[in-house]
Amino acid sequence: MGGVPIPMPTDSGGHVDGEARLYARSSGDDKATIMAMLTALDAMRAAGLRPSVNLKFFFEGEEEAGSPHLRQMLERHRDLLAGDAWLFCDGPNHQSGQQQLQLGVRGVIDAELTVYGPTRPLHSGHYGNWAPNPGAMIATLISSMRDDDGRIRIANFYDDVRPVSASERRAIAAIPPVDKELRRSLGLAHTEANDAPLAERIMLPALNVRGIQVGAVGAQAANAISTEARASFDFRLVPNQTLERVRNLVNAHIRRQGYFVTADSVTTAMRLAHPRIARVVWGEGGYPASRAPMDQQFARAVARAVGDGAGKPPLMLPTMGGSGPLYLFEQVLHKQIIILPIANYDDNQHAANENLRLQNLWDGIEVYAGLMGRLGAYWKN
Amino acid sequence: MGGVPIPMPTDSGGHVDGEARLYARSSGDDKATIMAMLTALDAMRAAGLRPSVNLKFFFEGEEEAGSPHLRQMLERHRDLLAGDAWLFCDGPNHQSGQQQLQLGVRGVIDAELTVYGPTRPLHSGHYGNWAPNPGAMIATLISSMRDDDGRIRIANFYDDVRPVSASERRAIAAIPPVDKELRRSLGLAHTEANDAPLAERIMLPALNVRGIQVGAVGAQAANAISTEARASFDFRLVPNQTLERVRNLVNAHIRRQGYFVTADSVTTAMRLAHPRIARVVWGEGGYPASRAPMDQQFARAVARAVGDGAGKPPLMLPTMGGSGPLYLFEQVLHKQIIILPIANYDDNQHAANENLRLQNLWDGIEVYAGLMGRLGAYWKN
């Protein structure tokens, strides 16, 4: 903040340790940024400082539910939301602890898969090696879709992937190495693709097995051949993949494995008509990726302003691995949008024990105050 | 029973339809045979008939729990259990509805498998395509062990399998065809290995996926990379496979896929030392297969005696697909043992709505009465 005194709690005040964590649902994702922005504004007002640019705040409450009404809201309030550029304040900071600015997100789409065995569970002794085994079938199908190194084996899946640009490569090379320490903290001796760096790997699409459910394991396991097997996936997408093309490629792949693919409920008549049936139900949410060029002027101005507040320039990453509906701001409002997160990377977002490291909150207040106070000096649209 | 009148309920009596079913836990497996044997004995007594051979009844209550004390009981009561041959009265009758006699069982052994991802669940966006994905790993591993046609892909798994003899082939060829109707009743357009007959398929070992558990599917699915994936298997074995060799072959196969295999709890230190860890815990129960030759004299005598009671000779099958601890009677008592079931094949044994078709119970009483009354005429040990 260029030496301007802003009253706020700090660990130098001696009362609260910045390493302490606040545990609460959505503490890191996404109450942290909301509180940091508003506190920054209060602090500037208390210090008699005015923002250097005009500000509009837009808080959307359905982002974790696929933002089903966002397009409608943006279209309806196009005039009210008029502006020069957008900042998307969500997600975690870099694993190194440094402030980061991300120029894109991956897209996301999910699917539920069911394959079928006999209409009633069968004794695995009397019918094993004769009746189709849905647990084995779904394993074969999943392994046909993705190898253990993350490579998606679905034909043509990478055709639309936008190549990584030279400036993106340089940006990735400039990111402090964190993989080794990350692996250690996660109990991983190795990561996929021969320990290729995380920042490189998120420039590519991903197929995540969210879940598999067949029969039972452990004490509940029974010597039975199950009637069906289920799996759930999410696909992370990159520019210029489209949802429709991904859905078509996956469905076509499953068909090539010999399956009749349907989104409908599966009847006994259908089972008797097709040797293998895969019910594939695509999630209604989902959106494509978004990734601005590294030399974008708005991003450079934000980086300088944030650097003024934080005391050093933020890391510039081509993309974050996660997803957000950034494409809608581009499609509906035709404005640039980049990401400025503040939460600790290990905040367990969406999971048990979600938390916010207090120093991240305090640093975030400085980051947003620096941005509001200094952006006007660097950004002349 | 050669025309001897035995008082028992029949559907010709007009009171109860033989197609009616009695629904109860273990109604088919294995209360049916116990009640049929004792009722046959009562009926013979009421008719003033004596069994043609000396009889001993041995009811073991732990057969569904791996018979952990059976060996000890047989050893301790060797004298009390002395005899010429054994009948094992368990399992279902043939799918054609005909009475059958089976000369063997498959062996069985089960295993629980766990593979590991990060020590805490990770956001599939931020870490997808970087963190090892246990759901994908277990799918790859399962598909490396078995193909969709039931063929076990574990090296040397079939080495010990005793070839099917010429007389076994003839017996299988003589079994009435049931596969087509079975498939129809189970909603299956096809069965494994190009619709190869069930009676042939149970002459081979089987790998059944009892269950797979990873993350969650459907409404509970989350965009997370799981910390582990679990699967449960049962293997059905045939002569001359041994449990020890099967365990060793499976463990060696998993090792060849790049896994460190352990039966112990997996610590973070172990995770950091090995890129891939598979925890494989073999069930403590389990037993090898047993299969008597088709021309065995005792089996031929039982078939003739049963035929006298039932009015036509029973089918003679080389084996049943299910398992039972027959090998212990051979190993400890050095006696032949064959199987004479009476329950309907569709009794849902071990599952919901287990049931006994009443006509099977009534026919079973005649079968056992015929056996007890006539065996002495054909069996001179």
pLDDT digits (tens, 9 = 90+) for B319-347: 999 999 999 999 999 999 999 999 999 99
> Taking the CA of residue A17 as centre, how many other CA atoms within 13 Å lie in the half-sphere pointing to its CB?
3
Those of residues 216-235 in B touching chain A at CB distance below 8 A are: 216-218, 220-226, 229-232, 234
Those of residues 339-378 in A touching chain B at CB distance below 8 A are: 345, 348-351
How much is the pLDDT for B12? Answer: 52
Q: Above 50 in pLDDT, residue A4?
A: no
- In terms of DSSP H, where are the helices of chain A? 32-46, 70-76, 124-127, 134-145, 166-173, 179-185, 192-195, 198-201, 243-256, 268-273, 297-310, 326-333, 358-378
- Contacts of residue A206 in chain B, CB cutoff 8 Å? 124, 128-129
Mean pLDDT of chain B: 93
3-state secondary structure of A149: coil
How much is the pLDDT for B244? Answer: 97
Query: Per mean pLDDT, which range of A40-44, A283-287, B21-25 is the poorest?
Result: A283-287
Closest Cα partner for A142 from A189, A97, A208?
Answer: A208
Q: Above 50 in pLDDT, residue B298?
A: yes
- In terms of DSSP H, where are the helices of A3-123? 32-46, 70-76
How much is the pLDDT for B65? Answer: 81
How much is the pLDDT for B309? Answer: 77
**Closest Cβ–Cβ partner in A121, A141, A323 for B125:** A323
The C-alpha atoms of residue B231 and residue B212 are separated, in whole angstroms, by 4
How much is the pLDDT for A12? Answer: 52
Amino acid letter, B225: I
- The pLDDT confidence band at residue A310, using thresholds 50, 70 and 90, is confident
Q: Determine, for residues B212 and A208 on separate chains, whether the beta-carbon distance falls below 8 Å.
A: no
Average pLDDT over residues B275-295: 94
How much is the pLDDT for B14? Answer: 52
pLDDT digits (tens, 9 = 90+) for B132-141: 999 999 999 9
Those of residues 281-300 in A touching chain B at CB distance below 8 A are: none
> Taking the CA of residue B63 as centre, how many other CA atoms within 13 Å lie in the half-sphere pointing to its CB?
19
Average pLDDT over residues A211-225: 95
Mean pLDDT of chain A: 93
How much is the pLDDT for A351? Answer: 79
Distances (CA, A) of B333 to A240, B88, B213: 73, 14, 42
How much is the pLDDT for B3? Answer: 34
- Contacts of residue B350 in chain A, CB cutoff 8 Å? 123, 222-224
Closest-CA residue of A relative to B152 is A129
Distances (CA, A) of B82 to B56, B91, B332, B375, B377: 9, 24, 11, 18, 21
Mutate to test the interface with A, among B208, B230, B256, B277 (most CBs of A within 10 A): B208
How much is the pLDDT for A63? Answer: 85
Q: Determine, for residues A275 and B127 on separate chains, whether the beta-carbon distance falls below 8 Å.
A: no
Report percent pLDDT > 70 for chain B: 96
How much is the pLDDT for B1? Answer: 27
A123 close contact with B: CB closer than 8 A: yes
Closest Cα partner for A317 from A91, A122, A144?
Answer: A91
ipTM confidence: 0.91
Average pLDDT over residues A48-52: 95
Q: Above 90 in pLDDT, residue A3?
A: no
Contacts of B237 (CB under 8 A, 6+ apart): B106, B107, B108, B109, B205, B243, B246, B288, B289
- Contacts of residue B202 in chain A, CB cutoff 8 Å? 126, 128-130
Query: Per mean pLDDT, which range of A121-135, A209-223, A306-320 is the poorest?
Result: A306-320
How much is the pLDDT for A102? Answer: 96
Q: Above 80 in pLDDT, residue B270?
A: yes
How much is the pLDDT for A282? Answer: 98
Q: Determine, for residues A143 and B146 on separate chains, whether the beta-carbon distance falls below 8 Å.
A: no
Structure tokens at A46: 């208390």
Which residue has better confidence, B37 or B308? B37
pLDDT digits (tens, 9 = 90+) for B99-126: 999 999 999 999 999 999 999 999 999 9
The C-alpha atoms of residue A224 and residue A373 are separated, in whole angstroms, by 67
3-class secondary structure for B141-196? HHHHHECCCCCECCCCCCCCCCCCCHHHHHHHHCCCCCHHHHHHHCCCCCCHHHHC
Distance (Å) from the alpha carbon of A97 to chain B's nearest alpha carbon? 15
- pTM comes to 0.91
Q: Determine, for residues B225 and A202 on separate chains, whether the beta-carbon distance falls below 8 Å.
A: no
- The pLDDT confidence band at residue B4, using thresholds 50, 70 and 90, is very low
- The pLDDT confidence band at residue A1, using thresholds 50, 70 and 90, is very low
Which residue has better confidence, A257 or A379? A257
- The pLDDT confidence band at residue B5, using thresholds 50, 70 and 90, is very low
